Chain A
Amino acid sequence: MPDALSLVAWVVDRDRREEILGDLCELRARESVAAFWGDVVGVCLHAPRVRCAVGTAAALLLLWIAATARDTSHRIVTARDAAGAFVLEFDGLRVVGATLDGAPVAADRLVQESGRLVIRGGAGTGDLNIRLRPDGSFYWRGRVPLTPSTP
């Protein structure tokens, strides 16, 4: 069985070591083994050194999750720009289908690469440029309706 006081002596700050070990020594004489070990664990978990290590580990874990987590939900979003309504079908962060003004867009008109999506314009409109963010949000620059040139 590991020596609880040695463990605590290693974990707690040097300037608090003597009083904490003395307190635990007192408790060991009067408490059950389970209660005593509960106190040992409680003291270790609240020690600044352990809290700092746990806090750093938790922050690193959150950063790793934020960096690697990807939205895998399927959703359909309707939006509108100057040229009319458009619909995007997302599979996670990827756009797998679109309609412009109610007409399905052929797959070869969807150009998607590293956070950018361009939907090639049909007759009468320019391209629809969309910026896709890793958090699932997206922003677009509206299509410009192409006006027929006048003679």
Chain B
Amino acid sequence: MARIGAFEELVLLAVLGLDGSGYGVSIRDELEAETGEAISLGAVYATLDRLERKGLVRSTVGPATPERGGRRKRVFRVSATGTAALRAMQRIRSQLGAPAPART
């Protein structure tokens, strides 16, 4: 399983939540809304690139829109590997947070 960092996990979760419509700006907006912190757009791009190289997200290029000056979006979707990585992280978190079994 590919190892993911804390910010990578947040970005993956944001991409997952946007259900195939996430692109740079909307992913950053989602992260800022959920964390309440300012997030660098550059950091989001760099993380998305890394996640794509690891095979955890896949991207496709959408149609051009006028509000973007005729430029196309790159929209991201979490891959099966990415979903597995998120599940693994959740499992690790729940195991780490669970109380230790009593020793006899």
Residue A21 contacts which of B40, B46, B67, B71 (CB distance < 8 angstroms)?
A: B71
Q: Please, how many angstroms separate the alpha-carbon atoms of A27 and B32 in the complex? A: 14
B68 touches A26 (CB 8 A): yes
Also in contact, A46 and B69, with CB within 8 A (given A16-B45, A19-B24): no
Q: Given that A19-B72, A22-B73 are known contacts, is A42 also in contact with B24, CB under 8 Å in the complex?
A: no
B29 to chain A, nearest CB (A): 10
Select the residue from A18, A19, A26, A46 with max chain B CB neighbours within 10 A. A19
Interface residues of A (CB under 8 A from B): 16, 18-27, 29, 39, 41-47
- Provide the B51-87 mask, 1 if CB < 8 A to any CB of A, else 0: 0000000000100110111011110000000000000
Number of interface residues of B (CB under 8 A): 20
Interface string of B27-49 (1 = CB under 8 A from A): 00000000000001111011001
CA distance A16 to B45 in the complex (A): 9
Per the bound structure, the CA–CA distance linking A31 and B96 in Å amounts to 41
6 nearest CB pairs, A to B: A46-B42, A22-B71, A22-B68, A42-B42, A42-B40, A19-B74
Beta-carbon contact of A19 and B73 below 8 Å = yes
Taking a contact as CB atoms closer than 8 A, the residue among B23, B43, B64 that contacts A23 in the complex is B23
Question: Do the beta carbons of B67 and A23 come within 8 Å of each other?
Answer: no
Could you list 13 A-B pairs, sorted by A, with CB under 8 Å? A18-B72, A19-B61, A19-B71, A19-B74, A22-B71, A22-B72, A25-B71, A26-B25, A26-B67, A39-B41, A46-B43, A46-B45, A47-B42
What's the nearest-Cβ distance from chain A to residue B104, in Å? 53
- CB pair A20–B24 under 8 Å, yes or no, is yes
